[in-house]
Structure 1
């Protein structure tokens, strides 16, 4: 696997940090999570990672972490700016003992600027990036697409990309560096095409009335007879002609960019079920597809033909790592059992050279937590 041999230390946080660590683990990195004694709830990305529970507010706990970082390649900091410095675990401290360490910092507003110390969530970072303002319609309040854009696209993915860039550069310089990934700035960068295309006539109207945001009748979703939906993306003339063919409409009567077409298209889609429309458009190159429901998407022939997703033991869909590599593909660590808090504490301490007596003392003092003392 592409990242085999790379050691990652991940400080447990909410969704963006754990997914960044999961991306690295999916492609072969060995990821060890440092959790507090009271671990973060709802971390669904523990699979395939090791976890040690440490009291980071104690000198002994900090020393354990420093020992771990001395041989690590990457550290993933998910705390607000300044927290790691207060613990004596900031980049200035850790790079003294490991000059090759890639110190990745994943936060909402970054390590500098007016908002660096402010709390926030995906919706706030989307709002500050300018992108959320485009996700409304008819003067209604904009609605974020769950927490995908800032948390995972502008955050996890770009942070992982920054780590890979730093690892590659290290092969030349031998030195590590700090990766400052701000989810707000990451989402802004991710939206570069939108910003650069603003002068074009694509964005002349209010949100929800333009070519790509639902204003164009041939680029939106439509409800079907059985209460499901079809997605239409017939932008180019050749696709639009095939789209009209599927609806049994004449091109002479339905000019491509006439906003008034929407009602007619909507009425026609209500006359057939989603399955019936799929049967029609499967034979037409019209950029029309069903809106698959997340709980049943695996039953669709596209996903069956690709075989690029799997189900875990509790029947949860675990997507396969992307992109696909021809020689060193990723393998989802999500197929492994979830890792429990403190599950690898004793094993990791042994690796660091702690004796049985020392480990017993750390457990007794509450410096570390282990849920499997039998490993001692």
Structure 2
């Protein structure tokens, strides 16, 4: 086994959204992650790469005997991650108080949308709701259109799973000094608000307007945008720095004086139209041949299948084929203790006996 977390044992209470993504990351980094599934749960895990790398044991969390087994496993763990509504783990008898009483070094990671406290803590919600409440969704509107949900990348994953993973790792690092575990309250509202820190700063300095689609990074600028090509495919450009902007203009043969005022906000709509007309004159591959690999800050807009075939991603092995599914390789990369995919997504209870043998 490899990975910087090799030797660490982590319990993942089966859930959806950010908890399994966090479990995947910790497993890819070498931790022995055991997922506790609910016995009889209809949730299937086998075809989802997010569930790779863990073993599964299914328990009846209404059974005193199975709750006792869960307590035993948690007592052997370095960390636990769970994504139930506040109070659910306490009602099961698996809340932080008894678990930390049994295992004083346990890092207890709690992942919710609204947080463990606050007037919305007990309300249902999903990624789109959490990022709406923190201003992130509004900021991604453009041209007066309704906000488009950015998949579930910001609430569930960026502001959720990544926040939980960094919290777990920080608490494990602190435990090496104190010998004590602690509880992590990771909320997707907190995480997505944290991701918006730059834009609060821009707003405070007068460099961010409330009207979506009029700012440099939200589609307002002609030089930070996506454009359609002659074949209906798209490209992206982002030359913010003057020298990169000049590289784009030179490679595209643009010498029109209007383009010299790069940061003149009033000129942006007209310049977007001009660039749009230009980029529609050639196919996407033609623009790739002209601009890719230059300092023009360019990339084609690829679908998931195209992304796996791109030469840069192939050279870095960004995507791998595992269990018959193309998926992202473990990230980030470690020079001495590289991460790895340990096994395919497990069926519920697939490793029941092995887990009890290895952990207890």
Interval containing the TM-score (normalised by the shorter chain): over 0.9
Q: Among 3, 6, 18, which residue is 1:4 paired with?
A: 6
Please report how far the alpha carbon of residue 205 of structure 1 lies from its aligned counterpart in structure 2 after TM superposition. Answer: 5.4
Q: Does the CA-based 8 Å contact 2:109-2:185 persist in structure 1?
A: yes
Q: What is the match of residue 368 of structure 1? A: none
Which residue number corresponds to residue 128 of structure 1? 133
Name the SS of the counterpart of 1:171 in structure 2: helix
Q: Deviations over 1:356-375 (max 9, x none)?
A: xxxxxxxxxxxxxxxxxxxx
CA contact (8 A) 1:241 1:251 kept: no
Determine which of 230, 243, 247 is the counterpart of 2:252. 247
Q: Deviations over 1:101-137 (max 9, x none)?
A: 1111011111111111111100011111111111112
Counterpart CA distance in 2 for 1:286 and 1:100 is: 51
Q: Does 1:212 align with 2:222?
A: no
SS in 1 for 2:305: coil
Q: Hey, what does 1:372 align to over in structure 2?
A: none
1:62 corresponds in structure 2 to 67
Shift of 1:304: 2.1
Match of 1:317 among 326, 347, 352: 326
Which residue number corresponds to residue 21 of structure 1? 23
Aligned to 2:353: 346
Residue 235 of structure 1 pairs with residue 244 of structure 2: no
Kept in 2: contact 1:225–1:269 (CA 8 A): yes
> How big is the shift at 1:59?
0.8
Of stretches 272-281 and 37-46 in structure 1, the one that deviates more from structure 2 is: 37-46
| 1:194 counterpart SS class | helix
- Separation (CA, whole Å) in 1 of partners of 2:44 and 2:241: 43
Determine the structure 2 residue equivalent to 1:362: none
| Counterpart selection for 1:150 from 151, 155, 175 | 155
Query: What SS does the aligned partner of 1:93 have?
Result: helix
1:161-213: per-residue Cα shift (whole Å, max 9, x none)?
00011101111110100011001111111221111221234313510111111
* Residue of structure 2 equivalent to 1:175: 180
Does the alignment pair 1:222 with 2:222?
no
Q: Displacement, 1:339?
A: 0.7
Alignment partner of 1:53 is 2:58: yes
Quote the residue 1:31 is aligned against: 33
Alpha-carbon distance in 1 for matches of 2:349, 2:358: 15
**1:53-89 CA distances to partner (integer Å, 9 max, x unpaired)?**
1100111111010111111110111111000111111
Give TM-score scaled by structure 1 length.
Answer: 0.89
Gap runs ≥5 in structure 2? none
Deviation at 1:351, TM superposition (A): 4.5
Q: Greater CA deviation, 181-190 or 32-41? A: 32-41
The residue aligned with 2:191 is 186
Q: Which residue of 2 aligns with 1:300?
A: 310
1:164 aligns with 2:169: yes
- The 8 Å contact of residues 12 and 40 in structure 1, kept in 2 or not, is answered as no
Q: Given that residues 8 and 72 in structure 1 are in contact (C-alpha distance below 8 angstroms), is that contact kept between their aligned partners in structure 2?
A: yes
**CA deviation after TM superposition for structure 1 residue 227, in Å:** 1.0
Matched, 1:203 2:212: no
Cα distance, 1:240–1:350 mapped onto 2, change above 3 Å: closer
Find the aligned partners of 2:205 and 2:244 in 1 and give their Cα distance.
22
* 1:291 partnered with 2:308: no
> Does structure 1 conserve the Cα–Cα contact (< 8 Å) formed by 2:228 and 2:276?
yes
CA distance in 2, matches of 1:199, 1:351: 55
Q: Is the 8 A contact 1:36 1:55 kept in 2?
A: yes
**Are the equivalent residues in 2 in contact too, given 1:52–1:345 (CA < 8 A)?**
yes
Cα distance between partner residues in 1 of 2:358 and 2:80: 18
Give me the whole-angstrom Cα distance separating, in 2, the residues matched to 1:172 and 1:59: 35
Q: CA deviation at 1:253?
A: 3.7
1:261 offset after TM fit, Å? 0.8
